[in-house]
Structure 1
Amino acid sequence: MTKKKFFIETIISILPPDRDCIPCNFMLRLLRAANTVRVEPVYVSDLEKRVSWQLDQASLEELMIPCFSHASTSTLLDVGLVFRLVRGFLDTEDVSRSGAAVVKVAKLVDCYLAEVAVDSYLALPVFFELASVMPSHARSTDDGLYRAVDTYIKAHPGLSKQDRKKLCGLIDTRKLSQEASHHAALNERMPVRAVLHLLLSEQTKLNKNIIHWSGSLSASRSPEGPTGPHQSARFHSKRETGPQQQQIMEIKRLKEDVLRLQSQCMEMERQIEKMTLEKKRSSSSGFILSWKKLGFSPAFKGKRIGEIDDEESEGGGKTTPFEMKARLVRGKNRRRSLS
C-alpha cells in the first residue's frame, strides 16, 4: 500500500501544468486510485483542480467514483467529490466563454443524479445541493432533472410533503418536453400543487401556440399582390391553410385535455381537504362517544361548559364520584316511578 501511495503521488507531482494535455477520464481514474490508497490531501486537491478544468470532457462511467469512507451511513458513490468538481468547474474563468461546456456538464450532473438517487443513504440536503449547483441557463431542458427527482422520491418513500415540494421546486416546468409533462401530470408521487403548476404551464404553452398559428393563418390569408386578392385567398385556404387548420384543431384538443386534467386535480385537492375535515370531526365525535360510554352524557346533554361550571359552583364545588353515582341512581328511580 505504501509503494502504491508513493507511486501515485509521484505521478500527480510530475503532471504537466497545461490544462488539455492529459485526458480528463485518465485523471479521473488516477483520482479513484488516489482515494483508494489515501494519498496526501494536497495531491488529491491538485488532481481535483485539474479534473474540474475539463469536466465537460468527462464520462459518467468514470465520474462514478465509490465513496471510501467507512461510516455506516455513507453513500455508495462519492457525491461530495462530484460537487467539488462541479463547483471548481463553475469557478473557472473559461466558463463564461463556452456555453456549450456548461450545457454538457449540466447533462452530466443530471445523469449522475439519476444514478445516485437510488441510494437510500443519500441525504436530501446533499441531493438538493448538487441538483441546484448548476445555473438556470445551463439546462436547455429539465427532463433529466425531473427523472432524477422522480427517482429520488421513489427511492425515499418516507419524504414529507414539504420535502417533495422542495424537490419539485427545482424543476422548471416550462423546460419539460411533452413526454415528460405527460408523465409528470399522471405521476402519483408528485405533489398536487406541482401538478397544477405543470398543467398551468402547459396551458400557457398551448395558448402561445394558438396565437402563433392564428397569426400565421391570418398572414397566409392576406392579399399578396395587386392581381386577384380573392383568388389568392381562395388558393391559400385550399392548399396551404389545410395543415395549419389541422394543427390548430389539435392544439385546441390538447388545451381541452389540459383543462380537464386541471379540473380533475382541483377536484382531488378538494377531496383531500374534505377527508382531512372528516378525520378531524370523527376524532372529536369519538371523544364525545367515550364520555357517553362512561354515563356522563345525561348530565352534560344540552348544556354548555359554563352552565355545568355554574351548577358545580352552586353545589359547593366539584362533584365527587360518590355524589355523581347517587344522582344517577336517583335519576333511574325517578324514571321508573314515572313509568
Structure 2
Amino acid sequence: MVNTDRNYLQEVEKRVAWRLDQATMKEIMIPCFSHVTGTLLDVELMVRLVKRFVDNINVEGLRSGVGLFKVAKLVDAYLAEAAVDSELKLPEFMELAGAVPAQARATDDGLYRAIDTYLKTHVNLTKEERKSLCKLIDSQKLSIEASLHAAQNERLPVRSVIQVLVSEQAKLHSHINPSQSFTNIKSPNRLGMDPPDRYHSSRDMMTFQQMEIKRLKEHVNKLERQCQMMQSQIDKLLEKKKGFFSWRKLATSTTLGAMSVEVADEKVEGKGYDSGSIGKQTPVKGKHGRSKTPKPWRQSTS
C-alpha cells in the first residue's frame, strides 16, 4: 500500500514465515490492500507464508513437527474465516488448504468446518467443484461429531457422504476387534507422502500416536456409556412389563372370583332355594320314574 521495495517485502515475509507457528489468529487476519482482488483478506500472502514455512522444515529441517501441527490448525481456522467472503475463489481456497501437508493434521474437523462454510456461502458451485473440494477431507480423520454432521449434510456430494459412513463403520469394526485396529492404519508411504523423518522426529511421531490412542479411548468410552444407557432403558422396559403382567394376573384372579360367585348364585336360583320357595317340598319319583306329589294325610273323623 505504501509502495515498499519488493526486496524488503520478501525479507519481512521470510521473517514472518520463520515464526508462523507462534502467530495467533488475530495476527494473521491481514486485510487485502490490493485493487486486483476483491477479497477482504490477503489470502495470497497467507499462501506464501505457509509454503515458505513448510519449505523451511523440509529443506533446512528447522524446528520440530509440533510447529507444523500448530500451523495446520491456524490455517484451518483462517480458512473458516476467509470462507465467509463470497469473493474468495475456489482455486485460492484449495491452494491454501493444500499448502499444509496432509500428515500435519491430526484431525480434519477444522478443515471440514471451513469447507462446509465455503459450500454454505458459495451455493453456485458445480457438482465437479464440490467433489474436488471435498476430496481434501480425509474421512478417517473426522471425529464422531463431525462424521454425524457430515452424514446429514445435504451440501456434500453423495460420494463424500458414503465415504464418511464407510469410515465410521470401519472404525466401529476396529473397536470391536482391537487386534486389527493398528493394522488398518495407513502408513505415510501408502498415502503418497514423504517419509515421516523429513517432517517429524521420533518424539513427534510418539506424540501423534498418543493423540490418536487418546482419541480412540474417548470414542470407546463414549460407546460404553451409550451401551450402559441402552441397558438401563431395557431394564426399565422389563420392569414395566413385569409390573403390567402382575397387575393383569391380579385383575384376572379378581374377575374369576366374581364369576365363581355369580355362577354359585345362578346355581342356587336354579335349584329353587330362593326366598319364595322355602318350605315347599320337592317332587318324589315313583316306580316308573314319574314324579308324584305325596297325598296329604286324611284327617281322622273320630
TM-score range, shorter chain: 0.5 to 0.7
Mapped contact 1:119–1:155 kept (Cα < 8 A): yes
- Find out whether 1:92 has 2:69 as its counterpart: no
Matching residue of 1:49: 14
Deviation at 1:95, TM superposition (A): 4.8
Partner amino acid for 1:132?
A: G
- Give deviations 1:83-140, integer Å, cap 9, x for gaps: 0000110111455640100000000000000000111111111100100111111000
Matching residue of 1:38: 3
Cα distance in 1 for partners of 2:180, 2:96 equals 43
- Find out whether 1:198 has 2:175 as its counterpart: no
Larger Rg: 2
Cα distance in 1 for partners of 2:180, 2:118 equals 42
How many positions carry a matched residue from both structures? Answer: 188
Structure 1 residues 210 and 38, CA gap change in structure 2 (3 angstroms): same
Matching residue of 1:133: 99
Cα distance in 2 for partners of 1:138, 1:156 equals 27
Structure 1 residues 95 and 155, CA gap change in structure 2 (3 angstroms): farther
Matching residue of 1:62: 27
Cα distance in 2 for partners of 1:174, 1:162 equals 22
Mapped contact 1:77–1:116 kept (Cα < 8 A): yes
Partner amino acid for 2:91?
A: P
Partner amino acid for 1:103?
A: F
Partner amino acid for 1:173?
A: S
Deviation at 1:38, TM superposition (A): 2.6
Partner amino acid for 2:224?
A: Q
Matching residue of 1:302: none
The aligned runs of 1:141-220 (5 Å cut-off) are: 141-212=107-178
Structure 1 residues 129 and 214, CA gap change in structure 2 (3 angstroms): closer
Structure 1 residues 47 and 96, CA gap change in structure 2 (3 angstroms): closer
Mapped contact 1:95–1:101 kept (Cα < 8 A): no
With structure 1 as the length reference, what TM-score do the two structures score? 0.52
Mapped contact 2:174–2:180 kept (Cα < 8 A): no
The secondary structure found in structure 2 opposite 1:198 is: helix
Structure 1 residues 213 and 42, CA gap change in structure 2 (3 angstroms): closer
Aligned with 1:81 (options 45, 49, 55): 45
Cα distance in 1 for partners of 2:24, 2:225 equals 43
Structure 1 residues 143 and 90, CA gap change in structure 2 (3 angstroms): same
Cα distance in 1 for partners of 2:77, 2:180 equals 39
Cα distance in 2 for partners of 1:112, 1:139 equals 14
The secondary structure found in structure 2 opposite 1:50 is: helix
The secondary structure found in structure 2 opposite 1:92 is: helix
Structure 1 residues 163 and 77, CA gap change in structure 2 (3 angstroms): same
Q: Which has the higher helix share?
A: 1
Partner amino acid for 2:55?
A: D
- Find out whether 1:247 has 2:238 as its counterpart: no
Partner amino acid for 1:196?
A: I
Matching residue of 1:296: none
Mapped contact 2:25–2:77 kept (Cα < 8 A): yes
Structural RMSD (CA) = 2.5
Structure 1 residues 214 and 47, CA gap change in structure 2 (3 angstroms): closer
Cα distance in 2 for partners of 1:130, 1:214 equals 35
Matching residue of 2:71: 105
Cα distance in 2 for partners of 1:213, 1:151 equals 38
Structure 1 residues 48 and 64, CA gap change in structure 2 (3 angstroms): same
- Find out whether 1:116 has 2:79 as its counterpart: no
Higher relative contact order (CA 8 A, sep 6+): 2
Gaps of 5+ in 2: 182-219, 231-302
- Give deviations 1:233-260, integer Å, cap 9, x for gaps: xxxxxxxxxx99x839849x9xxxxxxx
Cα distance in 1 for partners of 2:226, 2:50 equals 46
Over 6 Å off, 4+ runs: none
Cα distance in 1 for partners of 2:157, 2:21 equals 34
Cα distance in 2 for partners of 1:172, 1:88 equals 24
With structure 2 as the length reference, what TM-score do the two structures score? 0.58
Structure 1 residues 121 and 61, CA gap change in structure 2 (3 angstroms): same
Mapped contact 1:95–1:102 kept (Cα < 8 A): no
The secondary structure found in structure 2 opposite 1:157 is: coil
The secondary structure found in structure 1 opposite 2:177 is: helix
Mapped contact 2:108–2:142 kept (Cα < 8 A): yes
